[in-house]
């Protein structure tokens, strides 16, 4: 018989290997802001880059990879987050609109926790049902407040499973971007186990409306004239009247961007739109400035603590946002500004610094990518693909050349629609209006010339309709499913949403 000492010595190499293997797993920091348009980050260039630079966000791009063609599959907050949690389209994960996520289904945090990662979350969550799969969390209830920000802390959740019914802990005197950053840094310094890898989700409320920036930025851009987009007064050419139905207008029917009684009292005009645009953009960019400054603190901490070398930093947004293009604000629409998201990834030793990728990437790909980085098998029922080969600069010959998008009506009177986006074209179908739009993105990147009724484009229109049907079938979407049967796993929430949708439908008929 072997002595206990000999047995221990024989096992020692395996123990060392296992510990080393665990330490070699990268830490993963997933940072996401709400409504942060890619063209409000100076690394992406554009009309705002010089007047409102974002040096800390740019640092992620310069030290890693920037994706120029990253998009969402449903451009609205809660559904986008549910896609990131599950790797599945809205009709599969059950979150079509602003309903809660059914936490009984497999999710990214659950997988990461099971794979030996410390999991943490701070900030804007907006999935409405109590989080599952985290070792630690501190979340905003619902939208949360910009100032004197309150959180529901882990352990204070309500047994109903509804986040907003949990006990709230206020943080008087703090702006949301500042306190969210502080909570993250406190977790890094005081809570995490330094001997275990972490997966941490750091989510900012900013720059969501109503764009209440920290007061130290009151004078930022005060004397600057914000450049106008080419399409601030765009009425399109043959585009569907569906867009005119939406109240996302700057200086129009919605009061979201009309900040003073004097402005609200002005009749619609080009002058009013210009005035409203300037104020809206300054408030929005002040919120972005707050994000950039706080991310600078996070990157500095990673450097100073020695964590940067083995920590993947991912920065993105839950969807894009209109910054005056087509005379609009908000998101929802399949048009480029709302569809496109920022995606920048820094992974020392794997991602070559300063690289740019032009492939079609989706928020649908995020959980597959993170699981792949962690060495976890990718579940077969997820509908995206790992971006890791693209991170490594590999040429993936069978990478997607188009993708499927669908938005279900919620509010702002923005009508439901679905469509596809390829490298060079976009096809849109307004399903409640039976109207089509087709854009040549190379010749018409601003999407002002609808080619759907152009006889010279009949063949291309037919081909794209065929491709759209194929994509729709591949993802398993039924066009007759209008998203009025949410699946939260919480009957009280489901019934509340069904009744709300019935009220909305009744008002539309009046």
pLDDT per residue as tens digits for the range 33-68? 999 999 999 999 999 999 999 999 999 999 999 999
Q: What's the structural domain count of the chain?
A: 1
Going by their DSSP bridges, the two strands 198-203 and 150-153 should be labelled as unpaired
Q: What is the CATH number of the domain that holds 91?
A: 3.40.720.10
Q: pLDDT of 335-376, one tens digit each?
A: 999 999 999 999 999 999 999 999 999 999 999 999 999 999
Q: pLDDT of 294-308, one tens digit each?
A: 999 999 999 999 999
Instruction: Please report whether residue 384 resides in a domain.
Output: yes
Instruction: Please report whether residue 282 resides in a domain.
Output: yes
How many other CB atoms are there within 10 angstroms of residue 356's CB atom? 10
Alpha carbon distances (Å) from 2 to 6, 8, 88, 427: 6, 10, 53, 72
> Sign of the C-alpha dihedral, residues 257, 261, 267, 273?
negative
Report the distance separating Cα 391 and Cα 109, nearest Å. Answer: 22
- Given a cut of 60, is residue 283 above it in pLDDT? yes
Instruction: Please report whether residue 378 resides in a domain.
Output: yes
Q: What is the pLDDT of residue 272?
A: 95
Q: Which residues pair with 355 in a beta bridge?
A: 65
Q: What is the pLDDT of residue 7?
A: 40
Mean pLDDT over 254-275 rounds to 90
Q: How confident is the model at residue 88 (pLDDT cuts 50, 70, 90)?
A: very high
Q: What is the pLDDT of residue 16?
A: 36
Mean pLDDT over 396-425 rounds to 96
Instruction: Please report whether residue 485 resides in a domain.
Output: no
Q: What is the pLDDT of residue 495?
A: 74
Report the distance separating Cα 489 and Cα 82, nearest Å. Answer: 14
Q: How confident is the model at residue 11 (pLDDT cuts 50, 70, 90)?
A: very low
Instruction: Please report whether residue 346 resides in a domain.
Output: yes
Tokens 């999935």 appear where? 127
- Given a cut of 50, is residue 13 above it in pLDDT? no
- Given a cut of 80, is residue 1 above it in pLDDT? no
Instruction: Please report whether residue 263 resides in a domain.
Output: yes
Q: What is the pLDDT of residue 486?
A: 86
Instruction: Please report whether residue 347 resides in a domain.
Output: yes
Instruction: Please report whether residue 452 resides in a domain.
Output: no
The boundaries of the domain holding residue 397 are 25-401
Specify the higher pLDDT residue, 501 or 67: 67
Q: How confident is the model at residue 21 (pLDDT cuts 50, 70, 90)?
A: very low
Average pLDDT for the chain: 93
């Amino acid at each position: 018989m072997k002595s206990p000492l000999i047995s221990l010595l024989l096992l020692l190499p395996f123990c060392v290997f296992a510990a080393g293997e665990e330490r070699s797993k990268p830490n993963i920091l997933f940072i996401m802001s709400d409504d942060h348009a890619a063209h409000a980050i100076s690394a992406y260039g554009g009309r705002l880059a010089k007047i409102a630079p974002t040096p800390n966000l740019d640092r992620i791009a310069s030290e890693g990879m920037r994706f120029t063609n990253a998009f969402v599959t449903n451009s609205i907050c809660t559904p986008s987050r549910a896609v990131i949690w599950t790797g599945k389209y809205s009709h599969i994960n059950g979150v079509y609109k602003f309903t809660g996520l059914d936490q009984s289904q497999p999710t990214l945090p659950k997988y990461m926790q099971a794979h030996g990662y410390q999991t943490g979350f701070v900030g804007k969550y907006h999935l409405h049902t109590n989080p599952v799969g985290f070792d630690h969390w501190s979340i905003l209830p619902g939208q949360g407040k910009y100032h004197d920000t309150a959180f529901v802390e882990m352990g204070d959740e309500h047994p109903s499973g509804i986040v907003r019914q949990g006990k709230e802990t206020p943080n008087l005197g703090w702006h949301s971007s500042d306190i969210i950053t502080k909570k993250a840094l406190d977790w890094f310094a005081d809570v995490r186990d330094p001997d275990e890898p972490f997966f941490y989700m750091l989510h900012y409320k900013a720059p969501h409306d109503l764009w209440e920036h920290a007061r130290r930025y009151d004078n930022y851009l005060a004397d600057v004239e914000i450049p106008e987009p080419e399409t601030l007064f765009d009425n399109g050419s043959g585009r569907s009247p569906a867009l005119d139905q939406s109240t996302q207008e700057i200086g129009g029917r919605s009061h979201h961007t009309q900040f003073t009684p004097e402005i609200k009292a002005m009749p619609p005009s080009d002058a009013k739109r210009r005035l409203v645009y300037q104020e809206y953009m300054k408030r929005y960019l002040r919120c972005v400035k707050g994000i950039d400054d706080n991310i600078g603190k996070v990157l500095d901490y990673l450097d100073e603590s020695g964590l940067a070398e083995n920590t993947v930093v991912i920065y993105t947004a839950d969807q894009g946002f209109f910054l005056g293009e087509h005379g609009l604000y908000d998101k929802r629409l399949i048009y480029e500004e709302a569809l496109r998201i920022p995606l920048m990834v820094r992974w020392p030793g794997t991602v070559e610094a300063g690289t740019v990728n032009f492939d079609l990437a989706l928020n649908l790909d995020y959980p597959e990518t993170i699981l792949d980085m962690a060495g976890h098998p990718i579940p077969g029922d997820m509908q995206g693909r790992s971006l890791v080969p693209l991170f490594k600069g590999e040429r993936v010959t069978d990478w997607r050349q188009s993708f499927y998008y669908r938005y279900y009506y919620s509010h702002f009177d923005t009508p439901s629609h679905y469509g596809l986006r390829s490298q060079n074209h976009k096809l849109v179908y307004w399903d409640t209006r039976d109207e089509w739009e087709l854009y040549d993105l190379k010749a018409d990147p601003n999407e002002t010339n609808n080619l759907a009724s152009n006889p010279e484009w009949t063949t291309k229109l037919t081909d794209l309709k065929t491709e759209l049907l194929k994509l729709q079938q591949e993802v398993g979407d039924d066009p007759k499913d209008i998203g009025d049967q949410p699946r939260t796993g919480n009957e009280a929430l489901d019934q509340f949403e069904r009744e709300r949708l019935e009220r909305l439908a009744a008002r539309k008929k009046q």
